[in-house]
Structure 1
């Protein structure tokens, strides 16, 4: 039975991209490990999303995001999309991607699109193109964005996030180990080793 790394994240969280990259490196030689993505919207509607021209985002990127990204050699940039997109629609699409066995590829494609290509992941046309690049049928994906069944699945996933008391993204759960924030490759490996012998 494959070990699982559960990660709660949001597509507009830069630390989540860093966490994703470190997880990928930590499990590169461990094909039996499955990474399971869970949604946690940092700013759900109707709360306003952040704007890169306001002081907050440049300050936190210069103080924390860019230094951490450089330390781990992870290319990324502060997106110029303003205001930042809501992620509910992208997460509905994630439910469709998961159903079709492309959840991980879809997650990675959206994170790269926002933080490396400066694409608006709140735009339906952009999302459909990214879904196709992740191996999904763009027509089926586009229909899923307006399908109440996928919307309900997303709401259920958010309810599970609340039950798990997720307040920080990224949050990783590996067996009984819960890690809030970015975990290094060594920490991830040790948690998986502990899980293997438990």
Structure 2
């Protein structure tokens, strides 16, 4: 929909973290703006660039389905990667890290069983095969596009300009 802002991002991308913080600052100015989150892997497996975000993203889909505050989940994942240096590739460690947000047993079980692997695959395909995302973060609003410059990201003013478009 034209009035929805679609955001493609990855939890291991420092430019996504910066853009996420910009968006959180700007959101109160645009209370009617609908946001649709699309987590995607900036470097999917089996390529090895370390660490991979596939479990964090599957956890996002768990959180979404179970009514967890998504902004709080995003903040936690970014904090885990960039501040607390949590091993996000270990299910037990990741589950313990979000234990105050989720039912740990169910969260772990969903990751171990790959409950959201198909959602992860669909989200990656939406980003890279259907939406023309080259680098994250990337934004889509109707026919409008805002793509990060690789290894630079986007500016707060670019996000504001996109939010102002209707």
- Report TM bin, short chain: 0.7 to 0.9
1:8 offset after TM fit, Å?
A: 1.1
1:112 offset after TM fit, Å?
A: 1.4
* Structure of higher CA gyration radius: 1
Matches within 5 A, 1:20-169: 20-49=20-49, 84-102=50-68, 103-133=70-100, 135-161=101-127, 162-169=129-136
* CA RMSD after TM alignment: 2.2
Q: Distance in 2 between matches of 1:33 and 1:130?
A: 30
Question: What 5-or-longer segments of structure 1 have no aligned partner?
Answer: 50-83
1:156 offset after TM fit, Å?
A: 1.5
With normalisation by structure 1, the TM-score equals 0.72
Task: List structure 1 segments (4+ residues) > 6 angstroms apart after TM superposition.
Answer: none
Q: Distance in 1 between matches of 2:109 and 2:144?
A: 38
1:189 offset after TM fit, Å?
A: 2.6
Corresponding residue for residue 190 of structure 1:
161
**Number of residue-to-residue matches in the alignment:** 160
Question: What 5-or-longer segments of structure 2 have no aligned partner?
Answer: none
Q: Distance in 1 between matches of 2:57 and 2:78?
A: 12
Q: Distance in 2 between matches of 1:4 and 1:139?
A: 34
